[in-house]
Amino acid sequence: MQTRAVVLEAPEKLSLQTLGLIGAGPDDVVVDVHWSGISTGTERLLWSGRMPPFPGMGYPLVPGYESVGQIVAAGEHVAHRLGETVFIPGSTGFIGARGLFGGTAQRLVAPSARTIKIQESMASHGVLIALAATARHAIVDGANPPELIIGHGVLGRLLARIVLAEGYPAPVVWETNPDRLGGAMGYVVCDPSEDDRRDYSVILDASGAGSLMDSWIGRLARGGEIVLAGFYDQPISFAFPPAFMREARIRIAAEWSPADLAATLELVGDGRLSLDGLITHQAEAGAAAGAYRTAFSDADCLKMILDWRGCA
């Protein structure tokens, strides 16, 4: 079996290649991918060469962890899943390239347990499920919901929407890029310079700008918490005295759990969480090189997805 896949050969060197796939076992499924998303967090670090070392890290590699497609073959133990529309967070089943993430390909082989059935009607919106579940994890894993969210990119918007979907009070969202101030759905977005409040109980960062930690601490209430929900390639430091005086707490939110994913699908399914307006750009998979550059350089691009359905 073979697949067309996006391959990062080295930092800033990306191409579409044909790769071999390992054979599917009795507990594996084969997924024909329809759409895959480009992450402006981890994938930007992989593309630029700034990703901190991880087990399995190295080039060449197939990036991506946000793919949606249909199960077209299934092993004997999971044959009942044939035909399902699924979200698949990647694969390690490539021959000739690493699959640290491994989702940006036309066809994937993966254990059945790693694929999540979704409604066919979700279509391309399904690529957002992992990011939405990660956002929910950052919110509900703490004692209190965020009152302030830093950043109004796709993650910041999902965070704000999920806060409201879970029934919490509307948060304030900070955004310094004027092109991203619009698009709020039931919450306020403003430049930090327009906000004088200094008693936020929970501040949640979705920007990845860890160098701004001191300014966030200065906006905390006593005993307040800063939640780091971005991905940070540089060491994070802060001045101790202001944090000491506020008895500040710092929490790191990691990736989603299965419970987060199930709860997120429920929020979407019953209409409490909308994924509309978050995918702003789409490109055919054959134009992947240009799509990656747009995703990482165009402030108007909240989310870029690749369409694999016509890829030859």
pLDDT value for 45:
84
Please give the pLDDT value at position 133. 95
pLDDT of residue 46: 84
Which of 171, 238, 176, 177 minimizes the C-alpha distance to 204? 171
The gap from C-alpha 250 to its chain's centroid, in whole angstroms, comes to: 21
Mean pLDDT for 79-92 is 94
Q: What is the 3-state secondary structure (H, E, C) of 192-249?
A: HHHCCCCCEEEEEECCCCHHHHHHHHCCEEEEEEEEECCCCCCCCCCCHHHHHHHCCE
pLDDT of res. 141: 81
Q: What is the pTM of this model?
A: 0.93
Average pLDDT over residues 243-270: 93
Length of the chain, in residues: 312
**Confidence band (pLDDT; 50, 70, 90) for 178?**
very high
At residue 23, the pLDDT reads: 92
